[in-house]
Structure 1
Amino acid sequence: MEKRWLPLYGNNLEAHSTIENRSLTDLLNDTTAKYSDNTAITFYGKTWTYKELQKFSEALAASLNGDQFKKGDRLAIMLPNCPHYLFSLFGTFRAGGVVVQVNPMYVARELEYILNDSEATHIVILSDLYPLFKSVRDKVPTKKAIVVALKPGAEIELEANDCLFESYLKQATAPAPAITIEAENDLAVLQYTGGTTGVSKGVMLTHLNLVSNTEQTYDFMFSGEVSPPPNARIVNVLPLFHIFSLTCCNFVTIRHGGNQILIPRFDMPEVLETIKKEKPFQLGGVPTMYVGFNQVGKYKEFGLDLVESYVSGGSSLPVEALEAFERGTDRKLCEGYGLSEAAPVTHFNPSFQERKAGSVGIPLPNTDAKVVVETDAGWEEVAVGEVGEMIIKGPQVMKGYWRKPEETERTLRDGWLFTGDLAKMDEQGYFYIVDRKKDMILASGYNVYPREIEEVLYQHEGVQEVIVLGIPDPYRGETVKAYITPKPNSTLTSQEIIEFSRKQLAAYKVPKAIEFREELPKSAVGKLLKRKLRDEELAKVEAEQSS
């Protein structure tokens, strides 16, 4: 089928972005050469220029080199949004290393898995989380912790050869040597994601994957009437360990020499006051943020009507929330689609065309997308308006899954990325996500994998059987719900399950709803049937909406 969306590009956009074969270090160096004195980072009133960002990155690379960190070695970052995140990111790239993205909300079990799977030799970690690393260090190959203390004067008892971030930067006795990066083949980031197996997988993103997606997104986002002014201010409150923030809010901002105003976590009053004070050009968010803005209202009081560019991603944005936000701000809110395996953006609603509510937009330049179904003859494209699995091809598509060749073969076929998402395309080439083939839950923009939670709950002595689902939630998008059959004579309570889960899982994975049942639905061969429970929940929602 022809690329129906290309006529929509009009005079605003070329079908192919110009993508140079360069590294992420080149990206920073090119911007620094053009805008060395531009503010690159703002963090609670303190600022750093691009020249300073480059200087600290070089210093970290030099110290890593002196610490026997070699090209291809992995460095884990476990930080909230802060300047040290960017220093660590570009310092690792400059040293030829691979960044392992680690969610700061992980508990010991989750951190241990990521560090073992990636074989990270170093970790840059927040001082508050340092005790967590110490509790697993004897079980992981990570031998050095570089500790970031954001609170002045904090007393930290360091073990072995661990050291504070500022001290580590001063350890180098020589500059970092020149490193040759093959952008198409050399890894830049291991972005951990999961699947129906419940086993988290490291998505291998090369320098070219991320540079490509940066260029594609930049070209698409700013080809219409909206373009960033010099040293544009961007509020970045989405966590940098999330691929949406890493590319769209971070690399794209560096691409145009903008100023990232970093906020460590989403706190509504703080975000609104920051917008009011800074008058940013752009804000990237997940649906829960925009739902929250609508609940507060007061769009003009906080200057939300002055922000020129709003972007939403991470999960589907309810149409009613989108329309309410646009009415309140008189601004266009553009929703997109992506996944970790595509670095992440593949589709976006164009600012230069009609924005169709409920659609994730049209493919980016250099990106092909199809909706297919499996037939006896193989995978075949469906007709316009019909539902099938969306597949993607483009320079942003990952190299594969880290040390998981079978998973890679299932997901990458003949150059196409099989997304696992069910979609349809309209006559103009706009795409709509209908459902997910995977059982993954999207709660407040975070990926939650039911199998992982089920396996944790099965460890409780009172649990006989369990099914975990995502159920519709007007604020979070989806909420984690556990259906449990207790063991005979058990006195299991919901609170007991929740407290047990909190010790084993990051907060956003902990079930918010518990339902006890004498028996869970099963197939004729005894397989637990998630679909039946999901249908029950959808029926409840429909009944509530119609009543």
Structure 2
Amino acid sequence: MENKPWLKLYPESIPTTLVYEQKPVQSYLTKAAEKYPDKMALNFMGKEMTFKELYECSLKMANYLRGIGIEKGDRVAIMLPNCPQGVISFYGILFAGGIVVQTNPLYTERELEYQMKDSRAKAIIALDILYPRISKVMKHTKLENIIVTAVKDYLPFPKNVIYPFIQKKQTGIVVNLQHRGNQHLFKNIMDEARALPLHHELDFENDLALLQYTGGTTGYPKGVMLTHKNLIANATACEAWLYKAKKGEEKILGVLPFFHVYGLTTVLILAVMEGYKMILLPKFDVQTTLKTIHKQRPTIFPGAPTIYIGLLNHPELKKYDLSSIESCLSGSAPLPYEVQQKFEEVTGGKLVEGYGLTESSPVTHANFLWDQKRVKGSIGVPWPDTDAMILSPETGEAAAPGEIGEIAVKGPQIMKGYWNRPEDTAATMKDGWLLTGDMGYMDDEGYFYVVDRKKDMIIAGGFNIYPREIEDVLYEHPAIQEMVVAGVPDAYRGETVKAYIVLKDGASVTEKELDEYARKYLAAYKVPRIYEFRKELPKTAVGKILRRTLVEEERKKQQHDEKLG
């Protein structure tokens, strides 16, 4: 107890240690279909599906995947927004014995090719409008099959008739594929495949359920290997933290993307585990989200600060009734205290900040929702069965309360390692402890605080952005001599991407031209929002550009402007 002072803070309703069923992730869908066969499992823009239907559709997908050669341990990518097809695909891949590779639909060809090559995925399930992008990279990867679906496939009438016209107007893309060869239509699979139960041996501790890509703190994205145990452990802990939630009764808003492990664990997996109804939104749009809350009455709302800020700042906020919301866990970026207070005033529910990483499935810490005080600026305390400590930068040993050092965490949700990267795994994992790369401290009571990042990852609007990837793209521009990318403070996104650029002698380029160039190779959220041209950049004696110096300059400038303002 002396080494875990936070356990004294736990309310009686939260156990300090939990029991984890030694079952695969997909087994919870089987159980939900048996326990709640006619209960609605999900709502998508008005279209609903029961747990029994979701289970049968997932089995159809699993049998079809087996039929096209997917075997135990094969990787299958999902490149979809939040929609019924994404949920069916996730559980279908697991029922087939495969490993899910979640892929951001915003990825450019370059980013997609990298991930498919690295994961060696054999098949991909994607939206029809993404087909042109995927088809161009398939020949450079191990992809053998592509399963295509359209948003309209799971929309209610008349939205399913109207949507294709809207999509064509917005994207200009019309895809007409035949269900043959290595091209498969999701709708045909659901019409033709059989919903037969499938069985395969599973090692709960070691078999992978998910390959989730992250850059960690530096470099190109790495595949985080998350086992069935990792995901079940984190979802079970989430259930324990939400101890006032009622099994089979809650409605959870799924606006966090499932290609982000936070949305995957706290919405998709938790909802099926607990028999909650998922209310799915394909993307975050402020007005659509407000209307959905007003009409569908969700009770649980995991999100990110930018989502809550966006809702609170909508000019017509008072038109919508948000009083159904009872509990919200915010992650991905620091939650401003004023946002927490205002959101709780508007909804009458509770909003608290949590903390985690992709490498920890993802949650390790959170503030208490009920029956215990919440500390301003704190990420809360470690979850059940999770240990945490601050490593002193001087000694490498556990630091005293109040001393700043690197946050290290340990628990059943911690990843198996990085996919095919033993050196990176060894650098990040020490005797079972995950070194987070975040600097922080613990107070006398056991509350933890994050003060800075050890490395240079940028978190903008809840997305992890890795400077080196952007720098590699911009360095290829013929006008740039040298440059560096950094995250700078931003009132809405938490941080935003800024590029500091030194041009070659006699060269010229505008911000607009650089923006257009970057958008060819990077997803929109990675593209720099600010460009600053300089004659030189600060460097060490050996010529290394001092990124942190630029960030510090930016912070001081902002503080100065705030004083004047």
Fold equivalence (TM over 0.5): yes
Distance 1:86 1:325 in 2: 29
The alpha carbon displacement at 1:491 in A equals 1.4
User: Structure 1 residues 171, 64: CA separation in 2 closer, same or farther (over 3 Å shift)?
Assistant: farther
Report the 3-state secondary structure (helix = DSSP H, G, I; strand = E; otherwise coil) of the residue aligned with 1:503: helix
Per-residue deviation, 1:321? 2.0
1:156 aligns with 2:176: yes
Shift of 1:45: 1.1
Please give the per-residue CA displacement for 1:287-334, whole angstroms capped at 9, x wherever unaligned. 011111221266553122331112211111122222232233343211
AA in 2 matched with 1:86: V
Alpha-carbon separation, structure 2, partners of 1:475 and 1:173: 48
1:121 maps to a residue whose letter is K
What is aligned with 1:323? 341
Partner of 1:442: 459
1:173 is displaced (CA, Å) by 7.0
Distance 1:512 1:11 in 2: 47
**What SS does structure 1 have at the residue aligned with 2:353?**
strand
Q: Where does 1:4-403 land on structure 2 (aligned, <5 Å)?
A: 4-151=5-152, 152=160, 155-158=175-178, 160-170=181-191, 172=193, 175=196, 177-222=198-243, 226-228=244-246, 230-296=248-314, 301-352=319-370, 353-375=372-394, 379-403=396-420
Give the letter for the 1:429 counterpart: G
Judge which range, 309-318 or 405-414, deviates more. 309-318
SS in 1 for 2:41: strand
Unaligned runs of 5+ in 2: 153-159, 165-174
Q: Give the C-alpha shift of residue 196 in structure 1.
A: 4.6
Name the SS of the counterpart of 2:219 in structure 1: coil
TM-score norm. by structure 2 comes to 0.93
Cα distance 1:160–1:65, how it changes in 2: closer, same or farther (>3 A)? closer
Q: Provide the C-alpha distance between the structure 1 equivalents of 2:194 and 2:262, rounded to a whole number of angstroms.
A: 37
Q: Contact between 2:252 and 2:267, CA under 8 Å: does it hold in 1?
A: yes
Give the structure-1-normalised TM-score. 0.96
CA distance in 2, matches of 1:171, 1:37: 23
Matching of residue 502 in structure 1 with residue 519 in structure 2 = yes
- For residues 434 and 266 of structure 2, what CA distance do their matches in structure 1 show? 20
1:464 aligned partner: 481
Identity, % of aligned positions: 46
Tell me if the contact between 1:322 and 1:357 (Cα under 8 Å) persists in the aligned partners: no
In structure 2, distance between residues paired with 1:237 and 1:412: 32
Do the aligned residues in 1 keep the contact of 2:381 with 2:447 (CA within 8 Å)? yes
Check the 8 A contact 1:81/1:239 in 2, yes or no: yes
Q: Which digits, 9 at most, give the CA deviation of each residue in 1:455-485, with x for residues without a partner?
A: 0000101111011001100101111000000
Task: Single out whichever of 172-181 and 537-546 deviates more from structure 2.
Answer: 172-181
- d(CA) in 1 for partners of 2:316, 2:352: 21
CA–CA separation in structure 2 for the residues paired with 1:129 and 1:218: 35
State the alpha-carbon separation in 1 of the partners of residues 316 and 271 from structure 2.
Answer: 28
Instruction: Give me the whole-angstrom Cα distance separating, in 2, the residues matched to 1:50 and 1:464.
Output: 57
Q: Deviations over 1:397-425 (max 9, x none)?
A: 00000000000001111010111011111
Do 2:75 and 2:98's aligned partners in 1 also have CA atoms closer than 8 Å?
yes
Shift of 1:174: 8.7
Query: Does structure 1 conserve the Cα–Cα contact (< 8 Å) formed by 2:218 and 2:456?
Result: no
State the alpha-carbon separation in 1 of the partners of residues 525 and 99 from structure 2. Answer: 27
Residue 547 of structure 2 corresponds to which residue in structure 1?
530
After alignment, is 364-373 or 164-173 more displaced? 164-173
User: Which SS does the other structure have where 2:13 is aligned?
Assistant: coil
Cα distance in 2 for partners of 1:475, 1:106 equals 23
Partner deviation per Cα, 1:190-217 (whole Å, 9 max, x = no partner):
0000045421100000001000111011
Shift of 1:540: 0.8
8 Å CA contact 1:233–1:260 kept in 2: the answer is yes
When the two chains are superposed, the root-mean-square deviation of aligned CA atoms in Å is 1.6
Deviations 1:341-397, CA, capped at 9 Å, x for gaps: 000011111122112221111111010010112445xx2111111111110110000
* AA partner of residue 95 (structure 2): R
Closer/same/farther in 2, CA of residues 425 and 371 from structure 1, 3 Å limit: same
Gap change, CA 1:6 and 1:471, over 3 Å in 2: same
- Confirm or deny that 1:485 pairs with 2:502: yes
The answer to whether the 8 A contact 1:75-1:100 is kept is yes
Following superposition, the deviation at residue 169 of structure 1 comes to 3.9
- 1:514 aligned onto 2:531: yes
Deviation at 1:163, TM superposition (A): 1.4
